[in-house]
Structure 1
């Protein structure tokens, strides 16, 4: 008895009868991310700048950047993908 694994099926057979594949619309993703990033980075700066007064800008940025990236990777981007998928995702061009 022989079985066909999904890796041996043709791509057209795998997609037949399925919804079209989706891809993110980069301009919409940019807009939603910008709207999310602006208030977060502003809040972080309000909290960090008084503590780093007199420091060179590169040292302040060294503190702010990891905080912002962690918030984006672990919280903001997953929330954007979950809540705004209908707005961001568009059918892929062929």
Structure 2
């Protein structure tokens, strides 16, 4: 009887970075298409001041948890789990 913890694979930062790029790039682009006409004539720092909180909260509360929930197996370098069909 051993009390050693179960070894978990180390997450792949390269895989996580690639997934984040694939999701966040189009999201940032879409937000910029909406934001640019609304902030025409604003200095870049002011546009960034509006964009940054939207992006950070979207990543922390939406994008990252969703990626981990649906693609955590890929980030952790594990085989894809079998789908349960109802």
TM-score, structure 1 as length reference = 0.75
Partner of 2:18: 31
Q: Which of these two proteins has the greater Rg computed from alpha carbons?
A: 1
Matches within 5 A, 1:67-82: 67-82=54-69
Runs of 4+ in 1 over 6 A off after TM superposition: none
**What stretches of structure 2 of length at least 5 have no aligned partner?**
79-86
Q: Which has the higher strand share?
A: 1
Give the equivalent residue in structure 2 for 1:65. 52
Aligned length: 77
CA RMSD of aligned residues (A): 1.5
What is the CA distance between 1:28 and its match in structure 2? 0.3
Runs of 5+ consecutive residues of structure 1 not aligned to the other structure: 1-11
